[in-house]
Structure 1
Amino acid sequence: MSSHDDDELNASETPGYKVTAPAKSPEEYAKMDAQDESLARWKASLGIAPGAAIGPAEGPKVTVLSLELVSPTLPAGKSLVLDLSDPQALAEVKKHPFTIKEGIEYNVRIRFKVFLLHPRGVKYLQVVKRSGIKVDKMEQMLGSYGPSPEPYTKNFPTEESPSGMVARSGTYNVRSRVIDDDKEVYADFDWSFKLAKEW
């Protein structure tokens, strides 16, 4: 990918906000304000407790499992899920793009797991291009999550797919990225879709 493509997938920055202090380990967070019972209960609910390692000691803080397009108009039994743990599925969706019905409401849904450390400011970024021209950019905060053996699911706000003959011509190429305030990238992948009159 060119550096221009990378620039498009940089998260926006809040003026005046700077990430200064290095991230702490769960043990360090657990020891902070240990005498405050309500704070200790809240931290325990996030999986922050001495010795509460959920995942491996090394490796990514966040693993993105899947991306899904969800719509109440989808026919029963049909799903549009991209399994990010399967390189073959990623290659397949580039060759055979998802088909999305024009003019319908849909949501992007992402599933991910958080391990050991608490990542700061994790965001989902998406740039959509058609014929090399940017037609849309999405930036959504995933939120704050503690380590957990179970995956988290985040539904993004409802959007409406374009409609009309012009919208139906050509393939839309999407580049998605999951990144945190420390500029650590947890997922960076390409996929494609086409618009049609029907699913």
Structure 2
Amino acid sequence: MAEQGTDDHDEENTLYKPPAEKKLDEILSADAEDESLKKYKETLLGSAAGGGGTIVDEKNPSRVIVQKLGLLVEGRDELYIDLTKDKSEIKKSSFVIKEGCTYRVKIYFYVQREIVTGLKYKQKAFRGGIKVDKTNFMVGSYGPKTDLQSFTTPPEEAPSGMVARGEYKMDSQFTDDDGNDYLSWEWKLQIKKDWQ
């Protein structure tokens, strides 16, 4: 776990300004006479290019539906947490990894109705109630699709040594440039001397 920003207000201190939000219909109608641009938009947006936006779940008004969190460790099967469960159930979920191993987190999600800009995955690690790590990952912008989409974090090395071993409470959030909180959840990561 590498520290990537220590101040909770890092984002407010940046010069980055998110672009103005545009509806899918506005993007599709812009430059409609340019055939090559129209084909490019169809390639990017897939079935959503027909207008109206793709809908995965009629009952869910959210533009992003977060499905699951995966833990990737080379040479081992991917482990999952089902993020569609109740938050109290998700909170009980725990992954065990070997100290010093390299791992990545993978978030699976759907985007529906409209394009979502500036998706971000934020993660904080706590041990004994003290924040020991904070990472913010820029996921990117995604158009609506019926296909499950995903984002994988860069590789991180788990800490090693007797002091580093133990249970870490992880607070995760999937958000965007506009501050929409698509999902916030808590889970656990246990670092042990060996695989179990």
TM-score normalised to structure 1 length? 0.83
| Structure 1 partner of 2:67 | 65
Aligned pairs (5 A) from 1:161-172: 161-168=158-165, 170-172=166-168
| Structure 1 partner of 2:177 | 181
Please give the alpha-carbon distance, in whole angstroms, between the structure 1 residues aligned to 2:13 and 2:174: 18
What are the ranges of 5 or more consecutive residues in structure 1 without an aligned counterpart? 1-6
Please give the alpha-carbon distance, in whole angstroms, between the structure 2 residues aligned to 1:43 and 1:57: 27
Query: CA offsets, 1:76-109, max 9 Å, x none?
Result: xx5421110122640431xxx3211111111111
- Aligned match for 2:99, one of 97, 102, 111: 102
| Structure 2 partner of 1:82 | 81
- Aligned match for 1:36, one of 34, 37, 50: 34
Please give the alpha-carbon distance, in whole angstroms, between the structure 1 residues aligned to 2:144 and 2:43: 10
- Aligned match for 1:121, one of 104, 118, 123: 118
Q: Which amino acid aligns with 2:188?
A: S
- Change in CA separation of 1:13 and 1:41 when aligned onto 2, cut-off 3 Å: farther
Deviation, 1:38, is 2.0
Deviation, 1:17, is 3.0
**Relative to total residues, which structure has the larger strand share, 1 or 2?**
2
- Aligned match for 1:142, one of 119, 127, 139: 139
Q: Is the 8 A contact 1:83 1:89 kept in 2?
A: no
Q: Which amino acid aligns with 1:38?
A: S
Q: Is the 8 A contact 2:92 2:188 kept in 1?
A: no
Q: Is the 8 A contact 1:57 1:116 kept in 2?
A: no
Q: Which amino acid aligns with 1:12?
A: E
Please give the alpha-carbon distance, in whole angstroms, between the structure 1 residues aligned to 2:54 and 2:25: 12
Q: Which amino acid aligns with 2:180?
A: E
| Structure 2 partner of 1:3 | none
| Structure 2 partner of 1:51 | 51
Please give the alpha-carbon distance, in whole angstroms, between the structure 2 residues aligned to 1:12 and 1:160: 25
Please give the alpha-carbon distance, in whole angstroms, between the structure 1 residues aligned to 2:10 and 2:29: 32
What are the ranges of 5 or more consecutive residues in structure 2 without an aligned counterpart? 1-6
Please give the alpha-carbon distance, in whole angstroms, between the structure 1 residues aligned to 2:127 and 2:82: 23
Secondary structure of 1:123's match? Answer: strand
- Change in CA separation of 1:98 and 1:12 when aligned onto 2, cut-off 3 Å: same
- Change in CA separation of 1:80 and 1:193 when aligned onto 2, cut-off 3 Å: same
- Aligned match for 2:127, one of 111, 127, 130: 130
Secondary structure of 1:166's match? Answer: coil
Q: Which amino acid aligns with 2:117?
A: R
Does residue 111 of the first structure (1) align with residue 108 of the second (2)? Answer: yes
- Change in CA separation of 1:117 and 1:57 when aligned onto 2, cut-off 3 Å: farther
Deviation, 1:57, is 9.1
Provide the identity percentage. 39
TM-score normalised to structure 2 length? 0.84
